[in-house]
Amino acid sequence: MTSKTASKQDSKTALIQAGIQLMQERGYTATGVQDVLSLLNMPKGSFYHHFDSKEQFAVEIIRHFDQEQTAVIKQSLDNTELTALARLRHHCEAIKQRILAQECRKGCLVGNLSQEMADQSEVLRKELAEVTGRWCDVIAQCIREGQKSGEIRNRSSADALAEVFWEGLNGAIMRAKTIKRIEPLDTFIKVMFDDFLKP
Interacting residues with a second copy (CB under 8 A): 25-27, 29-30, 105-107, 111-112, 114-116, 118-120, 125, 128-129, 132-133, 153, 155-156, 160-161, 163-164, 166-172, 174-175, 177-180, 184, 187-188, 190-192, 194-196
User: Which of residues 8 and 98 has its CB atom nearest to a second copy in the complex?
Assistant: 98
User: Which of residues 25 and 60 has its CB atom nearest to a second copy in the complex?
Assistant: 25
Instruction: Quote the least distance from Cβ 53 to a second copy, whole Å.
Output: 16
List of residues 6+ apart from 162 with CB closer than 8 A:
136, 137, 139, 140, 143
Burial of 23 (0-12, 13-18, 19+ CB in 10 A): buried
User: Which of residues 116 and 151 has its CB atom nearest to a second copy in the complex?
Assistant: 116
